[in-house]
Amino acid sequence: VIDRAAILAVGSELLTSTFVDTNSLYITGELERLGVCVAYKSVVGDDRDELAVAIRQALSRVDLLVCTGGLGPTDDDVTREVVAEVLGRELREDARITAQIEARFVARGLAMPAINRRQAMVPAGAIVLDNRNGTAPGLWIDAGEQVVVLLPGPPRELKPMLADAIERRLAPRTSGLALARRVIRVTGRTESQTEEAVRSLYDTWARAPVPVSATILASLGQIDLHLTALAATQREVEAVLAAAAGEVVERLGLDVYSDNGLKLERVVGDLLIARGLRMAVAESCTGGLLASRLTDVPGSSQYVDRGIVAYANAAKVELLGVPQSLLDAEGAVNEPVAVAMATGVAARAGVEVGVGVTGIAGPDGGTPAKPVGTVAIAAVVPGAVASRTYRFVGDREQVKFQSTQAALDMVRRALLTARP
């Protein structure tokens, strides 16, 4: 049974600073759906020695090696030859492939260059995978219990070929198990606080009849917990993950904003729709990013009324009704100003939910009392006014993003806890 794979992306361009190996992401997704896990992947240049080492290593570790790239007609396309060499298979020209390649050229009124015959070379015992969108055929090579698959580099050639190979050759050789993933999204905790709270679940999950594995990923302003499991059917694996997600929510409570991978702006939007509320935002240091994120969600016109960017103090007074005396006495970055912005924008829009964000995104403008990254945020919802001063770390862009994340989260928590 094939259940562990390695992916080898071949091409010197993939080792430069300009080309990204996206094929391996695509291949990983396709293999996962069959319950085949990618144990590791590598990127190798068009170098016979490096490639031979990488192939030997893969064959010592996994059941399935998928190579992409390096099947072209030129001298630097060496995948086919090196694979044949490592497997000890002789290469022979397949007259049928030569004829097909020749026909593609003839159809365009061209003669086939002699070097293209190279693409018709097939290792003994290999099965040829037709290329509907290009000249380089792919190859499926059985090597004892193991399989080596060679696919062309261009994504539009690779995709249909991989789909065919999976359906006709790979699916019958896999366990038939279904794999599923579920992403639980958390705010308001650090990575280690999250891990600490859920770690004791890992052991139980590992010993369960359908084991669940978990990985924590931290990014700016949020933590994602990825749960993965394999089971006989899609329905079973999804039920197992739903139960595991429930256990996480029990531990983390309100800090979980989505138990199935939704974005925070979407979660907030869904809450507003469910309660029939509308929202307006007043932004200073985030410069419209909050309104932008809110309106990234399709259908947000149902609940977004307006966003006002009031950068200058005068704009805060003129557009939001923030009292000049408050700004004179306290400056622009503090919770009373954020609250005045939130209530001001909500009142002017005539909506129930308002948000105010005012802070110092940097790199200049900080003071000892209010360093760069100091951001005051307020949310007004029916029955509650929330506000808090944050000290975010990072550059200007990161401070802006974290401010919007905190503002959205404040609205979410206020909506879930307020008693209107």
Binding footprint of ligand ATP on the chain (CB under 6 A): 9, 11, 13-14, 21-23, 68-72, 77, 134-136, 152-155, 157
Minimum CB distance to ligand ATP smaller for 66 or for 229 = 66
CB of 175 to ligand ATP, least distance (A): 27
Minimum CB distance to ligand ATP smaller for 139 or for 379 = 139
Measured CA to CA, the distance from residue 224 to residue 376 in angstroms comes to 25
Minimum CB distance to ligand ATP smaller for 11 or for 362 = 11
CB of 53 to ligand ATP, least distance (A): 19
Q: Where are the beta strands (DSSP E) in 109-168?
A: 121-123, 127-129, 138-143, 146-151
Minimum CB distance to ligand ATP smaller for 100 or for 313 = 100
CB of 7 to ligand ATP, least distance (A): 9
Phi, psi of 195 (to 5 degrees): -60, -45
Measured CA to CA, the distance from residue 80 to residue 334 in angstroms comes to 65
Whether 65 contacts 42, CB under 8 Å: no
CB of 25 to ligand ATP, least distance (A): 8
Residue 378 tokens read as 């307020």
Is omega for the bond preceding 363 within 30 degrees of 0, making it cis?
yes
CB of 14 to ligand ATP, least distance (A): 6
Minimum CB distance to ligand ATP smaller for 154 or for 366 = 154
CB of 127 to ligand ATP, least distance (A): 17
Whether 288 contacts 307, CB under 8 Å: yes
CB of 209 to ligand ATP, least distance (A): 38
* Residue located via tokens 């050789």: 173
CB of 151 to ligand ATP, least distance (A): 7
Q: What is the DSSP string of 312-339?
A: SHHHHHHHH---HHHHHHH-SSSHHHHH
With CB atoms as reference, the residue minimizing the distance to ligand ATP is: 153
Minimum CB distance to ligand ATP smaller for 148 or for 342 = 148
Minimum CB distance to ligand ATP smaller for 21 or for 265 = 21
Minimum CB distance to ligand ATP smaller for 22 or for 190 = 22
* Residue located via tokens 């396709």: 30
Contacts of 105 (CB under 8 A, 6+ apart): 111, 112, 116
Q: What is the DSSP string of 185-226?
A: EE-SS-HHHHHHHHHHHHHHHHHSSS-EEEEEEEETTEEEEE
Residue 165 tokens read as 């190979």
Measured CA to CA, the distance from residue 162 to residue 166 in angstroms comes to 6
